[in-house]
Structure 1
Amino acid sequence: MYEFCPHCGLRYEVEPGYFIGAMYVSYAISGGVALVLGFMLFYLAGDPEGWVYAVVVAPVMILIAPVNFRISRVIWLHYVAGIKYVKGL
């Protein structure tokens, strides 16, 4: 993630540890994805054994980690800093 916004020059990390709160947002996103995958496996695959859940959910969590990292930081910026998205900039 950039230190400064390439468009407007806004400094993203205003203090050390600013994005620690984004860790909780990331945890919620990961938990939601794992929960949805678990329900889908339960209902669509007929409640398979426990190892099937692990084999399906773990790789998905690894694959979404880079996207989750960025999305959680963006959500944290909007929630805490009050940064508003202006379409078309």
Structure 2
Amino acid sequence: MTPISKLRAIAECKCPRCRKGPIFSGRIYSFKGQVTNEYCSYCNLRFEREPGFFYVSMFISYAMNVAEMISISVAAYVLGVALTYENLWAYIAIIVVGVFLFAPLNYRYSRVFLLHWLTPGLGYVPGITQDPKIKP
């Protein structure tokens, strides 16, 4: 079986160590919400490496949010919303709607980026197998 690439593992929100177990349970847009699993169901990796580990993902989410707001503003301008004082509330409304639509994606992918790219010492281990003796 061929291993999953890093980009595909990030896109599918898979564990950074085995690239098989899901990081989240639940769908992105659901009333129950998405929940970060405590352990990988395949290799038993603890996702929250230390208490407060995912606080760093707030900064990643902030950067993603700023980039999305700028992109939404530029797209609104290109699509014909004139950049005038009269259209100020239209721009604000468009940006707020975009922020709310992208919030679940920001939550999910800020944690995935933190685990895959910004956690030192946590990398892919090819050939790791599921060990039933190590369950938490």
Higher helix share: 1
**1:2 matches 2:42:** no
User: What's 2:112 paired with?
Assistant: 74
Contact 2:72/2:98, CA 8 A, preserved across alignment: no
Unpaired segments ≥5 residues, structure 1: none
Distance (Å, rounded) in 1 between the aligned partners of 2:106 and 2:125 = 19
The CA deviation at 1:73 is 0.2
Q: Over residues 20-75 of structure 1, what are the superposed CA-to-partner deviations in whole Å (9 max), with x where a residue is unaligned?
A: 11111101111111100111122322325111111111011112111110100000
Task: Tell me the secondary structure at the aligned position of residue 19 of structure 1.
Answer: helix
Q: Report which of the two structures shows the higher radius of gyration computed on alpha carbons.
A: 2
Aligned residue pair count: 86
Q: Structure 1 length as normaliser, TM-score?
A: 0.84
Q: Structure 2 length as normaliser, TM-score?
A: 0.57
Unpaired segments ≥5 residues, structure 2: 1-35, 127-136
Moved more, 5-14 or 46-55: 46-55
User: What's 1:42 paired with?
Assistant: 77
